[in-house]
Amino acid sequence: MIKIELTDDEVTTIMVALDNYRASMERAWYSDGNLDDRESAGSAEWCWQKLFGFQQDFRNSIADAVGEGEQPNNTASASVDPFTLPMRSNYENMK
């Protein structure tokens, strides 16, 4: 088993290259009907899907680690309506 570590940008670059290769092989298959071109396009798509899944898992793990999307546990801060906060005109009336 080989373990390769890539940055998110590197994975994105590889995915773009795979997508371009897949599109090129599909165009070649449509133009000359060579089955090898079709298989190459399918293999590129399979690799792209695998990398996309890994990338999304990685991005979700980062989001979980920093707490994105979590609701606050403090009900007072969770229930603040920003439209009821005092504005400058309301503040003058509160003096």
Run of H or E residues at 91:
helix 88-94
Per-residue pLDDT of the chain (95 residues; tens, 9 = 90+): 888 888 889 999 999 999 999 999 999 988 888 888 889 999 999 999 999 998 998 888 887 777 765 555 655 555 555 556 555 554 455 45
- At residue 33, the pLDDT reads 84
Round the CA-based radius of gyration of the chain to a whole number and report it: 25
Residue that the structure tokens 């979980």 belong to: 64
**Backbone phi and psi for residue 72, each to the nearest 5 degrees, phi listed first:** -65, 145
**Backbone phi and psi for residue 91, each to the nearest 5 degrees, phi listed first:** -65, -40
3-56-67 Cα angle (round to 5): 110
Written as six digits, the tokens of 36 are 């090898």
- What count of other Cβ atoms lies within 10 Å of the Cβ of residue 28? 16
